[in-house]
Each structure stands twice: as C-alpha cells, then as structure tokens.
Amino acid sequence: MKLVTVFVILVLLSACSRPISVRAAYLTQPEDQQLPQAELDKHPQILVTHDFEEFKKAARHRIGLWIDKNAIELVEEGWLDKMPQASYPMVMVGYNDPLVAFGYLLQVCCFMGHVLTNEEYAATESGFSVMERKSGEPGTALIMIQGFKQQPTVNDILKISNDLLDGKVTPLPLPVITP
C-alpha cells in the first residue's frame, strides 16, 4: 500500500514539474516596449528576450516570432527569410500595416507597394501585424497577412499566434490575375 501511495505522489509531482513549452518568443528592448511586462509575466509560454541570439535559439522549434517595434534593429537582415523560421507565424508589435511592418521595416522578401507619405506612415504606428507563409519560401502563398489597428494585448496576439501554430487558420486563396 505504501508503494502505491509513493508511486501516486511521484506521478503527481512529475506532472507538476513538466516544463512549459515555449509557444512564442518576443524580441524587445526594455525601453518603450509595446506589451506590458506585467501582462507578459502571466504567460510563461512566452519567452521575452532582449537578445537576438536567444531569440534565434528559441526558433529552432516552430513557435510564434514576435518582434517589438523597438527591436527591429536587433533582427539580423535576411534571417526571417531563411528556413525554418520563414514558415513560422510572425508578429510585428507596434505597426498595424503589414506592408510597413514586414516589407519596409523588417525587409521580409517579396513585398510590393507604394511609398507612404509621412502622414500615412504615422497612421501605422499602433496595433500589430501578423504574417505566416504557407511553405516558408519567399514569394509563396500566405496563410495569413493582416494588420490590427487596436491596442496590442498579449492575449489577442497569443490567440492568433497559437491558432496559426495549431493550423486553425484557413490559408488565403491565391490571387487570380486575369489579362
């Protein structure tokens, strides 16, 4: 009987001590961070880092890649276009226009658009943008590309990021070009 009790206790303890798997990595700098640290602290499945090497290390596994607008200069040029991370959900926190976020600022491959006026650019500085490529290859179809003109919250971004990771988002249809 004692052996069964000890076994049950060990099983319960091992279940409680399982590490929480990281679902997203948030690259940011401590000053002017878009998402409140107190809100992030409630989500142990989000790795918050100020170091690009740690961000890259976390991306060895399929996770959501969140980049704060104050950390753009930390991202290695071209890294987001390389596999496997090119196929991961990407979130730019602080810009609500995906063309600005991914095309102009992060310089992700294959974005085309017009040059923005200062007023148009300023209007993109709130919210967040999300993108995921279907196969990860630059220029391929997208599962999602959308800007959200709202106050960014950890819960909103995590929901979208997790839905993309779990395959719950229907891919966008390919555009049809007619002559």
User: Residue 120: what pLDDT?
Assistant: 72
Average pLDDT for the chain = 83
Is residue 100 a contact partner of residue 107, using CB atoms and an 8 Å limit?
no
Q: Write out pLDDT tens, residues 53-88.
A: 999 999 999 999 999 999 999 999 999 999 999 999
One DSSP character per residue, 47-94 reads EEES-HHHHHHHTTS--EEEEEGGGGGGSPTTGGGSTTGGGS-EEEET
Q: For residues 142 and 158, what is the distance between their CA atoms, to the nearest angstrom?
A: 19
Indicate the pLDDT class of residue 172, thresholds 50, 70 and 90: low
Indicate the pLDDT class of residue 13, thresholds 50, 70 and 90: very low
Indicate the pLDDT class of residue 17, thresholds 50, 70 and 90: very low
Residue reference for tokens 């919250």: 153
Cα 131 to its chain centre, rounded Å, is 8
Q: How many CB atoms lie within 10 A of CB 58?
A: 17
User: Residue 116: what pLDDT?
Assistant: 64
